[in-house]
Amino acid sequence: MEIINRRKRMMSVARRLRREENRNIGFVPTMGALHDGHLSLIHEARALCDVVVVSLFVNPAQFGPKEDFKAYPRDLPRDAALLAEYNVDYVFAPAVEEMYPPGFSTYVTVEGLTDKLEGAARPRHFRGVTTVVAILLNIVRPDFGFFGQKDAQQAIVIKQLVRDLAFTCEIVVAPVVREESGLAMSSRNSYLTGDERRAALVLNRALLKASAAYQDGEHNATRLIDLVTATIENEPLARIDYVSINDAETLENVDKVDERPALLSLAAFIGKTRLIDNIVLGKTKKNVISANA
Ligand code: AMP
């Protein structure tokens, strides 16, 4: 496994793999502090692709001024050891100045889809995400890009980006990986105290309650949202940011969950830590979505 810090080196390695060795490339972008959620993406990439490239980059452009960019956990030696164990071929771990050199002034925005949910709660977050992903896709030029359903809106936004700007990779979305307790894995879980970690279980519990109600015939979105809200409000350490039901592919608002799969998503503070989680109601989505579908 080679760790690469420079754009130029990453570009020339990727070009050689594609052109001279005719090998296909799977790319897994991450912000590091790796956990089993990330590793599940790497596992899928390993199964589908000849070469696996993982990026570790805490992207300042996607954090708001009052958010946790400085505090975000970073542990390159531990991450690199894990990635070597998972037979990753290349780790791309650039410094901030390598990604955003002095004078950097081009940003990519996906309109519409980014106005709601995480986009409404975190202005300019997705502008940072789509910009860094566009740069990374241009550097690595992967055949497949792997993203987690944990960040469901992000996955939808990235698919739109790839379609609109004609990136040639296919986007694979892998299911949410949870701890045995049901808590969705997240690098931010490391901020939680013991009590908060127990309190955070209410998020998944609330989603499962709504899913059970849906399966029992409750298809009214407002009532399903109310059920989630009431469950979370019972937990004193939790404070809801939003709970929403949207079309799982277009993110359009949904009044009644019918034929099309619906995304039930939420964000909540547990103490000072903001966590997100989601579940899909209805038929599950296709796993691999062609960029040009
Ligand atoms: P991050 O390092 O948080 O930016 O995440 C990098 C990638 O891993 C994103 O595509 C996330 O959606 C995905 N990811 C993070 N947590 C999970 C999880 N619990 N299950 C599945 N994928 C995840």
Q: Which of 276, 12, 289 is nearest to 121 (CA)?
A: 276
Residue 71's contacts (CB-CB under 8 Å, 6 or more residues apart) are 191
- Closest atom of ligand 1 relative to the 154 alpha carbon: 12
Nearest residue (CA) to ligand 1, atom 6:
30
pLDDT tens-digit series, residues 251-268: 999 999 998 999 999 999
292 or 146: which leads in pLDDT: 146
Q: What angle do CA 178, 184, 188 make, to 5 degrees?
A: 130
- Which residues are the active-site residues? 38
Ligand 1 center from residue 25 Cα (angstroms): 19
- Closest atom of ligand 1 relative to the 28 alpha carbon: 7
- Closest atom of ligand 1 relative to the 32 alpha carbon: 2
Ligand 1 center from residue 174 Cα (angstroms): 9
Q: Is 292 left (phi over 0), alpha (psi -120 to 50) or beta?
A: alpha
d(CA 51, CA 27): 9
Nearest residue (CA) to ligand 1, atom 17:
37
Nearest residue (CA) to ligand 1, atom 11:
148
Residue 293 has pLDDT above 60, yes or no: no
Ligand 1 center from residue 252 Cα (angstroms): 23
Ligand 1 center from residue 244 Cα (angstroms): 20
User: Ligand 1: which residues within 6 Å by Cβ?
Assistant: 30-31, 37-38, 40-41, 147-148, 150-151, 174, 176-177, 184-187
DSSP character string of the chain: -EEE--HHHHHHHHHHHHHTS---EEEEEE-SS--HHHHHHHHHHHHH-SEEEEEE---GGGS-TTSSTTTS---HHHHHHHHHHTT-SEEE---HHHHS-TT--------SGGGSTHHHHSTTHHHHHHHHHHHHHHHH--SEEEEEGGGHHHHHHHHHHHHHTT--PEEEEEPPPB-TTSPBP-GGGGG--HHHHHHHHHHHHHHHHHHHHHHTT--BHHHHHHHHHHHHHTSTTEEEEEEEEEETTT--B-SB--SS-EEEEEEEEETTEEEEEEEEESSPPPSEE-TT-
Residue 63 has pLDDT above 60, yes or no: yes
pLDDT at res. 170:
98
pLDDT at res. 226:
98
Confidence label for 109 from pLDDT (cuts 50, 70 and 90)? very high
pLDDT at res. 284:
65
d(CA 114, CA 118): 8
Q: What angle do CA 94, 26, 125 make, to 5 degrees?
A: 55
Global confidence as pTM: 0.96
Once rounded to an integer, what is the mean pLDDT over residues 117-125?
A: 97
- Closest atom of ligand 1 relative to the 35 alpha carbon: 16
pLDDT at res. 259:
83
pLDDT at res. 175:
98
- Closest atom of ligand 1 relative to the 34 alpha carbon: 2
Nearest residue (CA) to ligand 1, atom 14:
148
Residue 286 has pLDDT above 70, yes or no: no
pLDDT tens-digit series, residues 189-233: 999 999 999 999 999 999 999 999 999 999 999 999 999 999 999
Ligand 1 center from residue 33 Cα (angstroms): 10
Residue 144 has pLDDT above 90, yes or no: yes
pLDDT tens-digit series, residues 20-54: 899 999 999 999 999 999 999 999 999 999 999 99
Residue 130 has pLDDT above 60, yes or no: yes
Nearest residue (CA) to ligand 1, atom 18:
37
- By most ligand atoms within 8 Å of CB, the mutation choice from 27, 28, 30, 137 for ligand 1 is 30
Residue 279 has pLDDT above 90, yes or no: yes
pLDDT at res. 283:
74
